[in-house]
Amino acid sequence: QLQLQESGPGLVKPSATLSLTCTVSGGSISSSDSYWAWIRQPPGKGLEWIGYIYSSGTAYYNPSLSSRVTISADTSNSHFSLELSSVTAADTAVYYCARRSLSTGYSFDYWGQGTLVAVSS
């Protein structure tokens, strides 16, 4: 059974860089069937796609965040990471990592439990 687990600081200062890691177990992040995604949800609001990375290393970003986002993958250690620069209070959200699977029509079939990141001084 595939499992994903987010980790990282729960509090980030304004203008700093938010960094999170998602550790994947029970499967390989090198799988050609999978993209590895970051999705966020501000408190009381809906889901927002941040971006995803394919096994080839190619990453795709939400255009509204692309100037501040970097997603990378470490296949040898089965994790992938998110960096979001120049954060503001608007970046306060629960951040989820998820698998986007080609075999289920690009749906997000496995999710981490989510981690709340607050941006505050």
Partner 1 sequence: QSALTQPASVSGSLGQSITISCTGSRNDIGTYNLVSWYQQHPGKAPKFIIHEVTKRPSGVSDRFSGSKSGNTASLTISGVQAEDEADYYCCSYAGSRTFFGTGTKVTVL
Q: Is 48 in the site for partner 1 (CB under 8 A)?
A: yes
Cβ partners under 8 Å of residue 67, min gap 6: none
Pick the stretch among 16-24, 25-33, 39-47, 81-89 that binds partner 1 (CB under 8 A).
39-47
* Residue 26 CA to its chain's centroid (Å): 18
Q: Which of 3, 86, 106, 118 binds partner 1 (CB under 8 A)?
A: 106
Q: Is 57 in the site for partner 1 (CB under 8 A)?
A: no
Cβ partners under 8 Å of residue 97, min gap 6: 4, 6, 20, 22, 36, 37, 38, 39, 80, 82, 111, 112
Residue recorded with tokens 């999710």: 111
Between CA 55 and CA 66 the distance in angstroms is: 19
Q: Is 54 in the site for partner 1 (CB under 8 A)?
A: no
Total interface residues for partner 1 by CB under 8 A: 22
Q: Which of 3, 14, 17, 47 binds partner 1 (CB under 8 A)?
A: 47
**Interface residues with partner 1 (CB under 8 A)?**
39, 46-49, 52, 60, 62-64, 96, 100, 104-109, 111-114
